[in-house]
Copies of this chain bind each other. A is one copy, B any other.
Amino acid sequence: MTPTAARPLRRDAERNRQRVLAAARELFAERGLEVTLDDVARRAGLGVGTVYRRFPSREALIEALFSEQLDALVTLAGECLREQNSWDGLVRFLEDFACRHGGDRAMRELLFTGAAQRPDFARIHAELVPAADELVARAQRDGHLRPDLRGTDLPQIELMISSVAECTRGVDPEVWRRYLTLLLDGLRATPRGPSPLPAPALSHEQTEQALHRR
């Protein structure tokens, strides 16, 4: 489908292609899907023409950037299903997800807002839905997870965590763990008291920064 194709790029061309991808990754993560190919070019230190030569449209660039990340998500779900301890599997899924895509604004827009007319998504979705159901069911069978949770709760939980991650990324890229822990304490079938929080709360100054900065 997207094999490395006809002939290999010239060395400099390949290098530039990587620069474009790197710049795009950064910009998309910071600013979301609305970034301009001109922006990307500027950040990459290249002419606009160069960018357009490699990626005829923003679509193509997005495609190139995110299709592998999406596959990785499916893979992750599979691995988590294979963890011995079903609770740990669930936790790892939530955690790794947030870890990889938490602060990435474009990824959030792709996953959580209508931006996903994208073709890949039907497929991904189709694979992720049953995985989520099974992650939940498994942890419930073992008596770890509260029985009233559903597979469809996982995307919403991920949304919550990644919202925090995006908001706070500039100020403390790890605080989202704090809120995941709070949430997990609410997910257990038989609670065992507050778990230690893996990160200190933001200071008032940090909070102000996180909320008011653009």
Contacts and interface: CB of A to CB of B under 8 A. Distances in A.
Contact of A211 (B111, B160, B181, B212): B111
Contacts of A207: 152, 155
A74 interface: no
Interface string A163-185: 11001100000010011011111
Interface in A168-214: 168, 175, 178-179, 181-194, 196-197, 201-204, 206-208, 211-214
19 contacts: A112-B167, A113-B167, A114-B211, A115-B214, A121-B212, A150-B201, A150-B202, A153-B182, A155-B207, A156-B175, A156-B179, A159-B164, A182-B183, A182-B186, A185-B185, A185-B186, A185-B191, A186-B187, A191-B193
Most buried by B among A163, A168, A206: A163
Given A113-B214, A159-B163, A191-B191, 17 more contacts: A113-B167, A117-B214, A153-B182, A153-B201, A156-B164, A156-B167, A157-B179, A157-B182, A159-B167, A160-B179, A163-B163, A185-B187, A185-B191, A186-B186, A188-B194, A190-B193, A191-B192
Q: Report copies per complex.
A: 2
A150 B160 CA distance: 19
Given A114-B214, A201-B150, A168 B156 contact: yes
B129 A153 contact: no
Contact of A204 (B152, B188, B191, B194): B152
